[in-house]
Amino acid sequence: MSSLHNIIYDTYARRMHLFCQYPQLTELLGKQVFASRVRILAIGKAAWKMASMTAQHLRQRDIPYDGYVLTRYGLSLGEIQNLEILEAGHPLPDENSIAHSGRIAAWLRGIPAGDDLVVLLSGGGSALFELLPPDMTLPQLIDAHKQLISSGSAIDEVNRKRTDMSAVKGGKALKLLACSKVHIFAVSDVPGNDPHVLASGPFTPPQKGRKQGDAWVFKNGSKKVFYHIVGDNASFTLELASDLKRQGFQVHLEAGFQDRPATGFITKLKYMLERAHRPRYKLKRPFLQVLGGETPVKVKGSGSGGRCSHIALSMASALARYKDCALFCFATDGSDNLPGSGGAMVDSKSLKQLHRQGFGMTRVLRDNDSFTALRKIHHILPSPVLVTNVNDVFVLSVGYDFDNPLSGCDDSEPDIFGVIG
């Protein structure tokens, strides 16, 4: 990779490492008044790190605890004192999802009324934590999930449909509890950080909550649920944009969560690129445009690839029209539908490289085989060691020289994180 590519990837990887220290989780834990004993349940792709931090915090306060960590295969990084670590399937549930969730459900039923339950939620929880309703088998559930995630539907719509065919989603897990106080700390991967949608809301009552300080508070009979967001796509992209700005780049941060279908998002990126090359465009080249969100891809083919590689490959032809332009697409969970694939990049030279390798864009995109094509030209990005799940992050570079991107930069030019539509 060129100097520009290395700088952007390394900046992203460093920001990911810092983000995964979850400073807001540490701060919020310190503000809580807990019962004399705490039970911990961590579910999702960020579960291991969040549970490790929470356990350390409780030990420092001499508060006894026990519990479970339920995460995707390969994402646990060792033992955590007093916590049992379980792994299961993602993005599709599997036998371990059901078996481990059954063990956790039995444990939840046994929590005494006077204890507090701390739930640590992150993306991936919808597949990992699942109990079947009486009228559904596991093969039927897997097939239904497979159809949902390949449908091109937005994550909020997908999770609402998952809730209808689950015995724990949509607040149903609350019914298992005798304890009256639940503290939820969540890393959000859904638009608007909706507690009912994140991980399909297993402990979120269906009624609306009210804002109270740092938390949303929900009441359900004698139970009270305190819901905190400790990280999301907006905070990650803001911090990444700040990091890139400090390196000397001119940076513009796109406001809002990008949740339109991939076809619409690709059209938006192409329009941004074309508009940036108009003679009187308001943004002076070179610049970086940072965006974040989750843009669902409707899967029709049987090839290998994920959202990030699909969007990157779809932009190769547009980028080839301009000199010194590149797009970096990062999957913040470190798995762009394939383990170890942290995303993909393309630049002004990629289309020629793909053609030399015999790849036709129409066929590859029709077959949803973007990973195969981009891997051949070494444009798949590695996953950082620590990952979270705050959707996808995109960096569009316009006009920066690939080999010496920061030469001749005018630091005196005023710049804030501009918002452009």
Domains and CATH numbers, the chain: 3-15+234-398 (3.40.1480.10), 32-231 (3.40.50.10180)
- pLDDT beyond 60 at 420: no
Provide the token pair at 180. Answer: 């009256």
For 6, residues 6+ apart whose C-beta sits below 8 A from its C-beta are: none
The pLDDT of residue 411 is 43
| pTM for this prediction | 0.92
- Strand residue runs (E) in 305-409: 325-331, 341-347, 380-382, 392-398
330 to each of 62, 217, 346, 416, how far by Cα in Å? 39, 33, 12, 23
The pLDDT of residue 1 is 57
Query: How many Cβ atoms sit within 10 Å of the Cβ of residue 137?
Result: 9
Residues in the chain: 421
Tell me the pLDDT tens digit for each residue of 88-112.
999 999 999 999 999 999 999 999 9
Over residues 292-298, the mean pLDDT reads 93
For 26, residues 6+ apart whose C-beta sits below 8 A from its C-beta are: 53, 57
The pLDDT of residue 409 is 54
Give the residue from 255, 244, 232, 321 showing the smallest Cα distance to 288.
244
Over residues 186-202, the mean pLDDT reads 94
- pLDDT beyond 70 at 410: no
- At residue 184 the predicted structure's pLDDT band, cuts being 50, 70 and 90, is very high
- pLDDT beyond 90 at 285: no
The pLDDT of residue 2 is 67
- At residue 59 the predicted structure's pLDDT band, cuts being 50, 70 and 90, is very high
- pLDDT beyond 90 at 283: no
The pLDDT of residue 418 is 36
Of the spans 167-171, 254-258, 338-342, 415-419, which averages the highest pLDDT? 167-171
> With b meaning 16 or more CB within 10 Å and e meaning fewer, what string describes 309-334?
bbbbbbbbebbbebebbbbbbbbbbb
Tell me the pLDDT tens digit for each residue of 218-263.
999 899 999 999 999 999 999 999 999 999 999 999 988 998 899 9
Provide the token pair at 230. Answer: 């400790």
Over residues 112-124, the mean pLDDT reads 96
The pLDDT of residue 413 is 37
Whether the link from the prior residue into 91 is cis, omega within 30° of 0, is: yes
- pLDDT beyond 70 at 397: yes
Which H/E stretch holds residue 220? strand 215-220
The pLDDT of residue 214 is 85
Provide the token pair at 363. Answer: 């066929």
CA atoms of 158 and 197, how far apart (whole Å): 9
**Residue % of the chain over a pLDDT of 70:** 96
For 143, residues 6+ apart whose C-beta sits below 8 A from its C-beta are: none
- At residue 12 the predicted structure's pLDDT band, cuts being 50, 70 and 90, is very high
CA atoms of 334 and 224, how far apart (whole Å): 34
φ/ψ of residue 140, rounded to 5: -65, -40
- pLDDT beyond 50 at 149: yes
Over residues 323-345, the mean pLDDT reads 94
CA atoms of 196 and 160, how far apart (whole Å): 9
76 to each of 80, 93, 387, 392, 393, how far by Cα in Å? 10, 18, 11, 22, 23
CA atoms of 100 and 410, how far apart (whole Å): 57
- At residue 352 the predicted structure's pLDDT band, cuts being 50, 70 and 90, is very high
The pLDDT of residue 61 is 97
Provide the token pair at 239. Answer: 């911090």
The pLDDT of residue 408 is 55
Burial, 247: exposed, middle or buried (Cβ in 10 Å; 0-12, 13-18, 19+)? middle
